[in-house]
Amino acid sequence: MKQRISDGLAALGLTPPSGAVEALAEYGRLLLEQNQVMNLTAITEPDQVVDLHFLDSAALLGTANFQGKTLIDVGTGAGFPGLPLRLLEPSLRVTLVDSLGKRIHWLEELCTALHVEDTTCLHARAEELSLNRAYRDTFDFATARAVAPLNLLCELCLPYVKPGGYFLSMKSVDCQAELDSAKTAIQHLGGRLLPVYDYTIPGAGITHRVVLVEKIAPTPKGYPRRWAKIQKTPL
Ligand code: SAM
């Protein structure tokens, strides 16, 4: 795995900090080991773990400067994209959130094994946690990959971002219809759509898209709503 990670990061124009390639390889080993007994990922080939999990996550580093910033990864699952970002940018303070307690428990053990004790793992529903003032309008970045359609996802993620910060939504390149249907939600929740960021994952040769939303005003009162309401009457 190590060689593929190094080559892929170089192809993305990234220079990993000391020990990061080894830490990612160990992450991959532990992920595939735990995946035998817990449903963490549908990807079971080591090369694909590198390409579709690690390099796909790492590509986000091309969208902004993450040094010394805070980031919340909503619906993180097995830690993507938040944990690879922390391993590649050690000054980034990351909070990983998921509604599945078993995954969060495993992530806590993983962070200890990888010596990333400054990463917070939270078992919570995204739309409930941001009602707590400590998490609302606070983070420099919110990220999400494969969690929900963009119009619903905005209500889960934008409330965490402080004005001047960004919500980075990882999507496929054919997400234009999703993007169009999210425009009202973005505006309503204090966001402003920026030009999309496309990148090709080295090795896999697949092109993905990051939808970038800048937060320009605090989250209005009453948002996010309960999940049933978000789904039933999307903004
Ligand atoms: N982001 C990871 C990735 O790209 O590999 C995981 C994607 S997985 C398909 C979606 C994850 O989002 C699951 O782990 C699920 O438990 C979590 N999730 C879905 N809705 C959520 C919510 N409202 N709050 C927190 N987590 C949620």
Could you please report the per-residue DSSP string of 205-235?
A: TEEEEEEEEEE-SPPPTT-S--HHHHHHS--
Chain center to CA of 20 = 18
Look at residue 49 in the predicted model and tell me its pLDDT: 98
Cβ count near 125 (within 10 Å): 15
Look at residue 37 in the predicted model and tell me its pLDDT: 97
Residue 147's closest CA among 213, 97, 184, 207?
97
Q: Is 6 helix (H, G, I), strand (E, B) or coil?
A: helix
**Which residue has the least CA distance to atom 11 on ligand 1?**
75
Query: Residue 98: CB within 6 Å of ligand 1?
Result: yes
Mean pLDDT of 62-91: 98
pLDDT digits (tens, 9 = 90+) for 168-207: 999 999 999 999 999 999 999 999 999 999 999 998 999 9
Query: Residue 77: CB within 6 Å of ligand 1?
Result: yes
pLDDT digits (tens, 9 = 90+) for 114-171: 999 999 999 999 999 999 999 999 999 999 999 999 999 999 999 999 999 999 999 9
pTM of structure: 0.98
Cβ count near 219 (within 10 Å): 23
Indicate which atom in ligand 1 lies nearest the CA of residue 41: 5
What residue type is assigned to position 176 of the chain? Q
Query: Residue 97: CB within 6 Å of ligand 1?
Result: yes
- Could you tell which of 99, 169, 229 is best to mutate to test the pocket of ligand 1, judged by most ligand atoms within 8 Å of the CB? 99
Strands 206-215 and 197-201: antiparallel
Q: How far apart are CA 141 and CA 116, in angstroms?
A: 19
Query: Residue 103: CB within 6 Å of ligand 1?
Result: yes
pLDDT band at residue 93 under the 50/70/90 scheme: very high
What is the CA(199)–ligand 1 centre distance, in A? Answer: 23
Look at residue 175 in the predicted model and tell me its pLDDT: 94
Query: Residue 76: CB within 6 Å of ligand 1?
Result: yes
Strands 139-145 and 70-74: parallel
Q: Is 13 helix (H, G, I), strand (E, B) or coil?
A: coil
pLDDT band at residue 111 under the 50/70/90 scheme: very high
What is the CA(146)–ligand 1 centre distance, in A? Answer: 7
pLDDT digits (tens, 9 = 90+) for 34-72: 999 999 999 999 999 999 999 999 999 999 999 999 999
Query: Residue 169: CB within 6 Å of ligand 1?
Result: no
Query: Residue 125: CB within 6 Å of ligand 1?
Result: yes
Q: How far apart are CA 108 and CA 116, in angstroms?
A: 9
pLDDT digits (tens, 9 = 90+) for 203-230: 899 999 999 999 999 999 999 999 999 9
pLDDT band at residue 235 under the 50/70/90 scheme: very high
